[in-house]
Chain A
């Protein structure tokens, strides 16, 4: 069995999958859920409930603000207290619906579908169910899944790629989901295959998750249109463009979408959510979150209701260790540090990483020694040192001609830099500013 990977660049950070063997456990409901109205890329959702209304678990509380947008459902039975601005982990104020859960939580009831009924669904039906259930890309990008499944006119995809790479160190939420829910993930992926008219499903899993590979292989056994590809442990293996190259050998053209290479990439958790929506009729209102850290006692994988404050999640498992310096939302490579623990979890939150002081602080940057390691590891074949320098000198147009728009912001360049230079910071600035130039 050959192990596949993408061709250019990449790094090998320590995996530190401390929670790989922690099976998902449900955390208790918080006293108050803060459900952000911007939980996906696109327009913020519009609330359909008013303060004082009583809602059941899974009831629609906000509808998509446009075609690119997503529905939001209540994670519990409770009362809408008010609709007011709340803080995101980045400290910015955004509107949110505050729900106080009831003391009694009845088992939520949904209208599921039988096998025959699922078989009879047309592609349009599946996309409508996915849109209704408010499913977004759960790998972290939170792109609305129904938009992804509705291919642009004239475009065709022949492959659905299931992203089970989970190349970010520390995170294990996809790993445990694959171990425990492999059959459902494959079923969800095949539903997406049907919705887009693709011919096959390729599930890509990194080699450092042998149990997940075994589970997915068992689930896919005997299904002719599902292949399982074992991927090399290399970051950023789970990045869309890199994964397409690893699994199919095709290259997404610069500035293009995956569908230009005939592929659609979806996270395993998204596939599972699609299965839940179609087979059980359950909308997306909770997800597995890896709560981890080298010194965090209660680390593990938890099923967290959307809207649970980060502070509650951490307190429920024993609180922050004394030496905590930084809490990161997401993985250590692409995650963002939280500026306040007062902010709630969202659909896109895959992990909460608690770092001690010894690991959290940046080193003082030294001058660039022109070693070109950043060029070597850049998976997009860019020249990070040059782009960063252009960013520092505000030469946005020059950065644009050198392809800054293709940067994935994976952070390989900053990771590998022996002078600890803040390369990605300046590239990100140049990317944002050169995008403004175009307008």
Chain B
């Protein structure tokens, strides 16, 4: 008999609770554009913020409200994925330039001088707030990996020595989380297109003589890259070169010309699988 009572009582409680939940669901129902949920279904759900919105839901809401795909792009979806969203909403998909993270520091443990040892918390933000860092260069990579922790896609790792971050461009979607996390602003998003990326892998803004002492591969702002480039892509401001990615054709003339080997050319332009 006891077991029958138990079943009966629990059953009744269950039915009453179900009725209450039904009433509450009806009463507090919020009307939401059903398209938001449909778009969100197609998004990766990483909430990386690379689209400029606070997360995937906010992006989906913006898509549902929009009148065209202009200015709306999920960086972590490939063209096919974006086309699916455009089709769902009845818009024509616009091709967006894919970007990847490049590190504006190419020093290694051999090329830069480290006169002291950092013994504090393994966080770039904290190390940068305390002093100029282990190396002679007050602009270079600190190597504690704040960018690695920030990456929502697992695209960044510290290299074998555990000293500098390496980006796997197959995984990188260019959301910019790493750039935000770097206290020295060493990460830049460069367009990945038809040709390899050529960038100045140095951020030292000190005068040439000082930059020369800091590291073997520092940019001293000599301007040889400007003379070498047929497209006028490089420019030098405050003793530091920068390459305009829109003008660059990756001919490699500046890479050859740079006496400090601080201009780097990526090995390939393969956009990789990138199939989220």
Binds B, one of A18-26, A35-43, A422-430: A422-430
Q: Would B119 and A336 count as touching, CB distance under 8 A?
A: no
Whether A406 is near chain B, meaning CB under 8 Å from some CB there, is no
Q: Which stretch of A90-98, A119-127, A205-213, A272-280 is in the interface? A: A90-98
Query: A345-392: which residues lie under 8 A (CB-CB) from chain B?
Result: 360-362
| A85 within 8 A of partner (CB) | yes
A93 touching B210 by the CB < 8 A rule? yes
Contact mask A209-221 → B, CB, 8 Å, 1/0?
0000000000000
B115 within 8 A of A: yes
Given contacts A91-B131, A425-B126, contact A340 B116 (CB under 8 A): yes
List chain A residues, Cβ under 8 A from B206.
93
Q: Does B121 lie within 8 Å of A425, measured CB to CB? A: yes
Q: B116 touches which one: A93, A339, A362, A428 (CB < 8 A)?
A: A339
In the complex, chain A residues whose CB is within 8 Å of the CB of B115: 339-340
Is B174 an interface position by the 8 A CB rule? no
Residues on A with beta carbons closer than 8 Å to the beta carbon of B116 = 91, 339-340
B235 smallest CB distance to A (angstroms) = 24
Contact of A432 with B by CB under 8 A: yes
- Residues of A with C-beta under 8 A to B210: 85, 93
Q: Is B125 an interface residue (CB 8 A)?
A: yes
Q: Scan B107-134; emit 1 where CB is below 8 A from any A CB, else 0.
A: 0000000011001110101100111110
- Contact of B138 with A by CB under 8 A: yes
Contact B120 A425 (CB under 8 A): yes
With A and B bound together, what is the CA distance between A336 and B130 in angstroms? 8
A320–chain B nearest beta-carbon distance, Å: 14
Q: Are B129 and A90 in contact (CB under 8 A)?
A: no
Q: How far in angstroms is the closest Cβ of chain B from A28? A: 26
Min C-beta distance of A195 to chain B, whole Å? 36
| Contact, CB under 8 Å: B131 / A339 | yes
Complex CA gap A2/B206 in Å reads 57
- Interface size range on B against A: 10 to 19
Which residues from B are CB-within-8-Å of A337? 131
Interface centre among A339, A360, A362 (most CB of B within 10 A): A339
Taken together as a complex, chains A and B put the C-alpha atoms of A90 and B120 apart, in Å, by 14
Interface residues of B in 118-175 (CB under 8 A from A): 119-121, 123, 125-126, 129-133, 136, 138
The smallest beta-carbon distance between B156 and chain A, in angstroms, is 18
- For window 30-87 of A, CB contacts with B under 8 Å fall at 85
Cβ contact of A90, chosen from B121, B132, B136, cutoff 8 A? B132
Known contacts A85-B210, A340-B116, A422-B120; is-contact A90 B126 (Cβ 8 Å): no
CA distance A48 to B35 in the complex (A): 69
* Pairwise interchain contact A93-B120, C-beta atoms closer than 8 A: no
Name which of B126, B133, B136 has the most chain A CB atoms within 10 A of its CB: B126
Task: Judge whether A429 and B138 touch: CB under 8 Å.
Answer: no
- Complex CA gap A90/B121 in Å reads 17
B132 with A429: CB separation less than 8 A:
no
Select which of B120, B123, B125 is within 8 A of A362 by beta carbon. B120
Q: Please give the distance in Å from B172's CB to the nearest CB on chain A.
A: 22
* Interface pair B119/A90, CB less than 8 Å apart: no
Once the chains are docked, how many angstroms separate the CA of A428 from the CA of B123?
13
Count how many chain A residues have C-beta atoms less than 8 Å from C-beta atoms of the other chain.
18
Chain A: interface secondary structure? mixed
Instruction: Establish whether residues B121 and A92, one from each chain, have CB atoms under 8 Å apart when the complex forms.
Output: no
A401 vs B119: C-alpha distance in the bound complex, in angstroms?
31
> Chain B 194-218, CB within 8 Å of chain A: the 1/0 string?
0000000000001000100000000
| Smallest beta-carbon distance A343→chain B, Å | 11
Do A91 and B121 have beta carbons less than 8 Å apart? no
A361 with B119, Cβ < 8 A, contacts A85-B210, A93-B138, A93-B210 known: yes
Interchain CA distance A93-B139 in the complex, whole Å: 11
Type the 1/0 row for B48-92, where 1 means its CB is closer than 8 Å to any CB of A: 000000000000000000000000000000000000000000000
Cβ-defined contact, A91 with B133, below 8 A? yes
How far, in whole Å, are A337 and B121 apart by their CA atoms in the complex?
14
**Contacting pair B126 A91 (CB below 8 A):** no
Write out the residue numbers on chain B whose beta carbons fall within 8 Å of the beta carbon of A340: 115-116
Are B125 and A429 in contact, CB atoms less than 8 angstroms apart?
yes
**Which residues of B lie under 8 Å from residue A432 when comparing CB positions?**
129
Q: How far, in whole Å, are A410 and B132 apart by their CA atoms in the complex?
A: 22
- Establish whether residues B121 and A336, one from each chain, have CB atoms under 8 Å apart when the complex forms: no
Q: Which residues of A contact B123 (CB under 8 A)?
A: 425, 429
**Are B132 and A426 in contact, with the CB atoms below 8 A?**
no
Of A93, A362, A426, A429, the contact of B119 (CB 8 Å cutoff): A362
Q: Which residues in A have their C-beta under 8 angstroms from that of B138?
A: 91-93
Min CB gap B107→A, angstroms: 16
Q: Cβ of A91 and Cβ of B119 under 8 Å apart?
A: no
Chain A nearest Cβ from B178, distance in angstroms: 14
Contacts of A90 in B (CB 8 A): 130-132
In the complex, A336 Cα to B131 Cα: how many Å? 9
- The answer to whether A92 and B131 have CB atoms under 8 Å apart is yes
Contact A92 B132, beta carbon cutoff 8 Å: yes
Q: Which of B129, B131, B132 contacts A428 (CB 8 A)?
A: B129
Write out the residue numbers on chain A whose beta carbons fall within 8 Å of the beta carbon of B120: 362, 422, 425
Closest to B133 in A: A91
CB-nearest residue of chain B to A338? B116
Would B131 and A429 count as touching, CB distance under 8 A?
Answer: no
B133: which A residues are within 8 A, CB to CB?
91
A164 to chain B, nearest CB (A): 30
A91 to B206, CA, bound (A): 13
* A49–B252 alpha-carbon span in the complex (Å): 48
Interface residues as binary, A331-342 with B (CB distance below 8 Å gives 1, 0 otherwise)? 000001101100
Can you list, as one digit per residue, whether each of A398-439 has a CB less than 8 Å from chain B (1) or not (0)?
Answer: 000000000000000000000000100110110010000000
CA gap between A92 and B136 in the complex, in Å: 9
Q: What's the least CB distance linking B49 to chain A, in Å?
A: 14
How many Å from the CB of A405 to the closest CB on chain B?
16
A339 to B136, CA, bound (A): 10
Interface string of A86-129 (1 = CB under 8 A from B): 00001111000000000000000000000000000000000000
Counting from the closest, the 7 A-B pairs by CB-CB distance are A91-B132, A90-B131, A339-B116, A422-B121, A425-B121, A425-B126, A339-B131
A-B contact pairs, 22 of them (CB 8 A): A90-B130, A90-B131, A90-B132, A91-B132, A91-B133, A91-B138, A92-B138, A93-B138, A93-B206, A336-B130, A336-B131, A339-B131, A340-B115, A360-B119, A362-B120, A422-B126, A425-B120, A425-B126, A426-B121, A429-B123, A429-B125, A429-B129
